[in-house]
Amino acid sequence: MKIKFNKNEIDWIERTADIETTRTFQQFNHLMPLYKDATAKQKRLLHNQIDELIKLYDFLKTLRCKLELWDKRFDIDTRVEFKEKIK
């Protein structure tokens, strides 16, 4: 699979990742106060939601880092080939 991005597309992806990171923190800050007074079942649900937010944050952080490295190391108009993983 070959993907070609130009500079504007990479900038847009980075901005979107920044916005989603901010939304992730807002959701996290919203869930934490609820956790204190929750029942055991509610805590389990909140814990699962918090785990998903942490995974999302890690993905967004990795995405931004890779895009930043790619932007600095490669000519932005080159093609990048991703080999599909065989299951």
Say if CB 6 and CB 77 are below 8 A apart. Answer: yes
The whole-number pLDDT of residue 7 equals 77
The pLDDT tens digits of the residues spanning 35-58 come to 888 999 999 999 999 999 999 999
Helix spans in the chain (H):
7-36, 40-73
Q: Are 32 and 40 in contact (CB under 8 A)?
A: no
Can you give the pLDDT at residue 1? Answer: 66
Per the structure, the complete domain to which residue 23 belongs is given by: 2-73
Residue 83: φ, ψ to 5°: -80, 130
Residues constituting the chain: 87
Overall number of domains in the chain? 1
- Are 57 and 21 in contact by the 8 Å Cβ rule? The answer is yes
62 part of a folded domain:
yes
User: Do the domain assignments include residue 86?
Assistant: no
Q: Is residue 27 included in any domain, yes or no?
A: yes
Beta carbons within 10 angstroms of residue 31's beta carbon: 16
In-domain check, residue 82: no
Residue 87 lies in a domain: no
pLDDT at 3: 72
Residue ranges for the chain with pLDDT beneath 50: none
